[in-house]
Structure 1
Amino acid sequence: MNRLAQSVSGIETGTSKCEQCGATTRLGDGMCLSCFLKEGLQPEQQASAAAFERLLAETDVPDKQWRLGNYEILEEIGRGGMGVIYRARQRHSRRIVALKRVLTYQADSHETLARFRREAETAATLDHPNILPIYEVSESEDGLPYFSMKLAIGGSLRTATPALCHNPRQCVQLMAKVACAIEYAHSRKILHRDLQPGNVLLDAHGEPLVSDFGLAKWLDEQTDLTRTLTTFGTPGYIAPEQAEGLSFSPAADIYSLGAILFNLLAGRPPFVGANALSVIRQASVTPAPKLREIAPSLGRDLETIIARCLERDPKARYRSAAALAQDLERWLEGRHILARRVLPPARIWRWSRRNPILAGAAAACLILTSAVVWLAREQFAKAPELPLPEKSIAVLPFENFSDNKENSYFAVGIQDDVLTSLAQIRELKVISRTSVMAYQKPSRRNMREISRALGVANVLEGSVRRTGNRVLLNVQLIDARNDRHIWAQRYDRAVADSIGLQGELATQIAAALKAKLAPEEKARLDAR
């Protein structure tokens, strides 16, 4: 008991290593709090609860709020093998944040500290609405790193899967946004390498936020720090080439995106097994199961999109996360997806090698049919093109004419606001932002081609110039079928007054296209 009293009363501001377990400690005689309590509870001590409480009272340790740097710790909300996450309050701004720090017993692990710092440094360089933002990266008084980030109170896709699996459309909408976020990271030369449902958080509005860049890799770095880490991703969601330790590319993240979408729609990952090794082995040697074998009610197009992501050959997957996002958007809009259902050349070649007689007969029939069609081509009437909906529109990326090219984000923001306002009008068919990004450069725009490709009759294009505290916006509404200008307008506003501009602009466009606004739609646009 005397040693216990000396330990507690010896709490000091400096830090040292525990003589028994090696953990960082502030107790004067070299024991950490855990070892101190264990010694006090040893049976041979025969210390009564009353005597122990009296001893603690005599130490006169002040009861004050626990702070970590500039943050007041409120409660623990999560814990893993590497770190612990708290709900915390920033001291001066009073903002509620999530704060992540390394677990104390991991303080001597070089691999853990390297991964923790990598997560903070990588995420801090990314600025995207669907990537969890990092607010501050710092170290505690005892030298352990921590960082604060946005508090996502909606849980994660792991906890939301039971509710989402009955709503395929919502699942696809979420994953289209996640794919856009990963494409942004890839454009910054960063691979995530640990995409799984638990690392996609949801904010208060149900928007997805990609988190946990602890295994991220810069594509252009010469050495791979994470090769020394014992953790290499989450079995069931990592690509086969990643599990085997081979060289891999952004296609590995695309595989993980497909596995997450499979899990959301089917209620389980593509591969399951008794242990991690069994799951990894299945993914390496066995083709991924078809989605409709597990969830028969889902459409074939979704099955095709996921199968494209889960191809064992990285070259057979989507060429980029943006291409995956585009196909998901096309599915949401009811348009034909771009992914091929199968990879026919290799399969046809293998089949013809096994069945040469049938292959020869099939080739002869194909040649004969082609000849008949070619000879009779003049007799086939050209199928009439279906008329495009009159009240359909695509909002092309606005040009940035500002002197400061950094104001390009301002032009993107105005385009997004106008597109969002138009999408709230029921009588209008509005093409998504992902589908119009291919027409970023005005020099490559051909209105008739855009009309046919997107299936719209009208196109809105414009330019933005920001000078000082004023913004000049020029917009033109064009009938893309014949390049005829329907309506044009020029707006010159103070930056502070431009917030409600998108509602006014959407109202005028709806009037030009003769789209009737319901009372609640008009009220919503007037309020913007």
Structure 2
Amino acid sequence: MDRFARLETLFHKARALSRAEQGPFLQREAPDDPELQEEVLQLLGAHSAADPRMEPQPDAVARAVSELAGLTQFGAYRVIRLLGRGGMGAVYLAERADGEYTQNVALKVLAPHLADDAFATRFRTERQLLAQMNHPNIVRLLDGGVSGTGEPYLVTEYIDGEPLDSYCDRLKLNVRDRLRLLLEVCDAVAHAHHNLVIHRDLKPANILVDKTGAVKLLDFGTATLIGSRESTAVTTLPLLTPRYASPEQLRNDPLNIATDVYSLGLILHELLGGHRAFTLSNDLAQEFSRATQDLPVLALGSVSTVEAAAVRGASLSELRASLGGDLSAIASKAVAYHLRDRYQSVEELKDDLSAFLESRPVHARPLTITYRARKFLYRRRYMVAAVTAVLLASAVGFVATVQQRRLAEQRFEEVRRLARYQLFELYDRAELIPGTLRMRAGMVQQSLDYLDRLSSQRDLDEGLAIEIAQGYRRLGDTQGNFAKATLGNPALAAKMYEKGLAVLKPVSGGSEQARRAQRELEASAAIASLTTNPAAGSLPKFEQTIQQLEKEVQSNPSDDESRLLLGRALIAVFSSPEARDSTRDATAEVAQKGETILLEGIDHQGARQTSFQLALLDLYRLRAIALADKAPKESRAWVDRGFRLLRGLPPEVQNSSIARKARASYLMTLSAVTNAEGDSKQALAMMDEPLSIGRELARDPDDLQACANLAVLLENRAMMRWNVEDYAGYLADYSESTPLNERLVKSSAGERFRLSYLSSLRNLAYAHDKLKTPQTAAAVRKAYDELKKAASDESLGFRPKADLADLLLNLGIDGTQRPEEALTYAEAAAKLEPGAMNSWESLAEANRQLGRYDAALAAIDRAIALLDAPKDGEAPTLTYKQTLAKRQQILAQQAGGSQKK
């Protein structure tokens, strides 16, 4: 017996017992499962609250409200009176009392008995969800905070109104007027879904109608993000209403937007017919049977009463006649047990309700020729009266064949529309929200499953092939394109791109749209390959990709997709030293070209405008980082451009993970520039905010790029701590960043992060050596062993050799410096990467320790030449001063007559 069946059996048995007997009974029946016992007790408690015939239990919320009775002030707001109680606390009528202006508000306070981390997080989530929504039919968030005694609260506009069902009954609104109000509800719910929010507790009590007749949707306290795996177990029953819950909610399955569609369907039955969809009983156990049973739906109006008809301004026969046919089909489709049979979005439900009001065919019914003809005739009954017989006669002859064909076409298009909605519109919105990476990958995979099944049902047409290929491209991006947030599986990403190209192959010689889709896939694959492993032969193909995209944009300047890919390809130039050295343009020229390409895309103000803005943020970020040490003033200029762009973004984009990552990077770069200019203490203080953002973004365990960014932030702060001689802080930062890099190097994308891991091992060894900790010898030996192994791997380039030379010169092995061994690695590093300053510094230091001062001077001069000399009136950077100091040391020793012959 599965867990739900066992829970249901225990519930029915315990329900027949007195309260005093229920606890001991459950302990006997489930002695090994205290969680199951608690769930049954929660269910029994909810059943008691729902059934007025049951003996009342103590009200925990009422007790909690009494605990708040002494509180009258919450920030700038003073409580006037209690409005109501809910599963998470109480709502008060309050007024603004700080003298700024007068305003009545609704003030929601979290109940003290729920003030643990989980409920406090949910409460904050409600505030965040309300903040991101702006719709005339959704209650507006005004303020929020924590009271002087620690109770979280939020402030919304006060709605002086009544629940939707009470309002309709009091005014005796007819069916059509009730439907018009329900369309406003659908608009509000659809807006929430477009912001990736599922309400999860839609019911008449959460839908108010104000004095002007406008609908207002309330209470997002149980809402969740689309794709969230957050538990909705039966132990959270006080936070949902079983009477209006979907089967998947009751089963604790993952939820999607169809959950709210189901709840709207239940409301539709009650609002129009005055009865429930499945049962006339108040028995909660029957409500929960919907979790596992596909119960027959009561036809809309079939059990309506004379009293229900009266409050709808009709006789019983008139009401039943108006609710039959189309409306009954719509109501039944909305509450279908299986997700595949339900409306796939609130917009689809709204479209059918609107179609009914306009006497158009509804999709909830088979779109037969006869049915379409009847709707057509009704809408134009006066114009076409003379030809009605002719139309019907011609329809009857082929009705059966067309019915089957239309039904299949309708199902095909419904599934395809859902897949497109998830793959494009929802995906693009989700990309702006932190922590949605795995969810987005799941959305794409589900959409591809739909599209693959569709493609097996018929010959693959070009349009469907393009959609499937675009899906594989997006799935590849989420799996292994390190130009974006990624799950870090480049091998799987490469397979996804290959699959996309294979799908397009049969149609690649067709339209320009198909050929463009193929080029876009090839470009995405090239960019992902470069950003994942630039030393693996991807650079020639990458340069070819840039050339091809440049031709595309030149021949069709309005092709925003190719323009965006070109901009991202140019950004990828900054992703590795090899790319910078191998690309035909100088780095500055590449940056300028990328900026021009992306700004022109923004000027087009098309559907991809936000994507162009976010790409430009990335370009400014990477360019500023590249210049921070060498040209601080120019780096500041790029940061300023980035901040100007950030300030001009819409609020929802400013709060996206991409924009927040850019902000953290800009602040870090400003800190690095300040450090380079010699003010390390100020630079250190400036690192607090970027690190806070970095930690927040790195909470997504799936986003390897966010983890890597946090490691970079920590290591930048560590270097500043070294400069102010805070060696303990330096050790703390590297003790935190090194495990992050180790996690990254052990991932499926480990090769990309190997260099960062090696560098962190070396610097961690420096920290231990400086403080002479007991771990010093082990840390140095580990760094030496790993670097020596990496130095023999030519695919890793110059950095392991340069880092190993540095370690041998400054820390040595077993306390002994090894300049001869270091010299070999330094020479190899300088030969591989003549533009890397630290290779020449190590070469200079090795020669100095060996007493070869002429060679040391030649090497240090090469290092100085790679730095921008201070211009007139400018102070030299810290790096420039430190390198000059090394040169002076060499000259001093040479002058001392210690040169070896």
What's the counterpart of residue 78 of structure 2?
72
Query: What TM-score, normalized to structure 1?
Result: 0.50
Q: Does 1:305 align with 2:321?
A: no
What's the counterpart of residue 171 of structure 1?
178
C-alpha distance in 2, partners of 1:314/1:126?
26
Q: Of 296, 299, 318, which residue of structure 1 is paired with 2:343?
A: 318
Give the counterpart letter for 2:104 in structure 1: I
Does the 8 Å CA contact 1:165/1:264 hold for their aligned counterparts?
Answer: no
Give the counterpart letter for 2:250 in structure 1: A
Structure 1 position 146, deviation (Å): 0.5
Does the 8 Å CA contact 1:255/1:309 hold for their aligned counterparts?
Answer: yes
Rg comparison, structure with higher value: 2
Structure 1 position 276, deviation (Å): 1.9
Structure 1 position 110, deviation (Å): 4.1
What secondary structure does 1:291 align onto? coil
Structure 1 position 326, deviation (Å): 1.5
More divergent stretch after superposition (303-312 vs 333-342): 333-342
Q: Does 1:338 align with 2:363?
A: yes
Q: Which has the higher strand share?
A: 1
Q: After superposition, what is the alpha-carbon deviation per residue over 1:430-460, rounded to whole angstroms, capped at 9, x for unaligned?
A: xxxxxxxxxxxxxxxxxxxxxxxxxxxxxxx
Counterparts of residues 304-453 of structure 1 (less than 5 Å) = 304-340=329-365
Does the 8 Å CA contact 2:107/2:154 hold for their aligned counterparts?
Answer: yes
Q: After superposition, what is the alpha-carbon deviation per residue over 1:202-253, rounded to whole angstroms, capped at 9, x for unaligned?
A: 22212111111112111244x4165573445212211112211122321111
C-alpha distance in 2, partners of 1:118/1:252?
19
What secondary structure does 2:242 align onto? coil
Query: What TM-score, normalized to structure 2?
Result: 0.30
Structure 1 position 111, deviation (Å): 4.2
What's the counterpart of residue 347 of structure 1?
none
What's the counterpart of residue 219 of structure 2?
212
Q: Does 1:277 align with 2:281?
A: no
Change (3 A) 1:164 1:123: farther
Change (3 A) 1:177 1:302: same
Q: Of 199, 202, 206, which residue of structure 1 is paired with 2:206?
A: 199
C-alpha distance in 1, partners of 2:213/2:122?
28
Change (3 A) 1:34 1:249: closer
Change (3 A) 1:34 1:134: closer
Q: Of 133, 146, 171, which residue of structure 2 is paired with 1:139?
A: 146
Structure 1 position 200, deviation (Å): 0.9
C-alpha distance in 2, partners of 1:242/1:66?
37
Does the 8 Å CA contact 1:191/1:217 hold for their aligned counterparts?
Answer: yes
Change (3 A) 1:287 1:71: same
Structure 1 position 273, deviation (Å): 3.0
Change (3 A) 1:255 1:230: closer
What's the counterpart of residue 289 of structure 1?
298
Change (3 A) 1:69 1:330: same
Give the counterpart letter for 1:103 in structure 2: A
Does the 8 Å CA contact 2:79/2:94 hold for their aligned counterparts?
Answer: yes
Q: After superposition, what is the alpha-carbon deviation per residue over 1:341-398, rounded to whole angstroms, capped at 9, x for unaligned?
A: 699xxxxxxxxxxxxxxxxxxxxxxxx9659999xxxxxxxxxxxxxxxxxxxxxxxx
Structure 1 position 322, deviation (Å): 0.8
Q: After superposition, what is the alpha-carbon deviation per residue over 1:42-85, rounded to whole angstroms, capped at 9, x for unaligned?
A: xxxxxxxxxxxxxxxxxxxxxx9932210121111112242111
C-alpha distance in 1, partners of 2:96/2:147?
15
Counterparts of residues 147-158 of structure 1 (less than 5 Å) = 147-158=154-165
Does the 8 Å CA contact 1:290/1:307 hold for their aligned counterparts?
Answer: yes
Q: After superposition, what is the alpha-carbon deviation per residue over 1:292-318, rounded to whole angstroms, capped at 9, x for unaligned?
A: 312324332211111110111111111
Structure 1 position 272, deviation (Å): 4.0
What secondary structure does 1:287 align onto? coil
Q: Does 1:259 align with 2:259?
A: no
Counterparts of residues 99-114 of structure 1 (less than 5 Å) = 99-104=107-112, 106-114=113-121
C-alpha distance in 1, partners of 2:172/2:339?
27
Does the 8 Å CA contact 1:162/1:267 hold for their aligned counterparts?
Answer: no
What secondary structure does 1:292 align onto? coil
In structure 2, stretches of 5+ residues that fail to align are 1-59, 305-319, 369-395, 403-901
C-alpha distance in 1, partners of 2:339/2:164?
25
C-alpha distance in 1, partners of 2:400/2:357?
39
Change (3 A) 1:107 1:240: closer
What secondary structure does 1:298 align onto? helix
Give the counterpart letter for 2:264 in structure 1: L
* RMSD over aligned Cα atoms: 3.4
What secondary structure does 2:129 align onto? helix
Change (3 A) 1:232 1:313: farther
What's the counterpart of residue 88 of structure 2?
82
What secondary structure does 2:143 align onto? strand
Q: Which has the higher helix share?
A: 2
Change (3 A) 1:321 1:373: closer
Q: Of 125, 133, 136, which residue of structure 1 is paired with 2:132?
A: 125
Structure 1 position 340, deviation (Å): 1.7
What secondary structure does 1:294 align onto? coil
Structure 1 position 178, deviation (Å): 1.0
Give the counterpart letter for 2:303 in structure 1: I
Change (3 A) 1:303 1:165: farther
Counterparts of residues 492-507 of structure 1 (less than 5 Å) = none
C-alpha distance in 1, partners of 2:401/2:219?
57
C-alpha distance in 1, partners of 2:65/2:260?
42
C-alpha distance in 1, partners of 2:79/2:268?
35
What secondary structure does 1:229 align onto? helix
Does the 8 Å CA contact 1:232/1:243 hold for their aligned counterparts?
Answer: no
Structure 1 position 33, deviation (Å): 12
Change (3 A) 1:370 1:135: closer
What's the counterpart of residue 166 of structure 2?
159
Q: After superposition, what is the alpha-carbon deviation per residue over 1:502-527, rounded to whole angstroms, capped at 9, x for unaligned?
A: xxxxxxxxxxxxxxxxxxxxxxxxxx
How many residues align structurally? 291
What secondary structure does 1:100 align onto? strand
More divergent stretch after superposition (71-80 vs 155-164): 155-164
Change (3 A) 1:99 1:373: closer
Change (3 A) 1:371 1:65: closer
Structure 1 position 103, deviation (Å): 2.6
What's the counterpart of residue 180 of structure 1?
187
What secondary structure does 1:254 align onto? helix
Change (3 A) 1:84 1:204: same
What secondary structure does 1:141 align onto? coil
Change (3 A) 1:323 1:282: closer
Change (3 A) 1:372 1:75: closer
C-alpha distance in 2, partners of 1:142/1:212?
24
Q: After superposition, what is the alpha-carbon deviation per residue over 1:146-165, rounded to whole angstroms, capped at 9, x for unaligned?
A: 11111111111243353366
Does the 8 Å CA contact 2:198/2:225 hold for their aligned counterparts?
Answer: yes
C-alpha distance in 2, partners of 1:80/1:371?
54
C-alpha distance in 1, partners of 2:328/2:139?
29
Structure 1 position 166, deviation (Å): 4.7
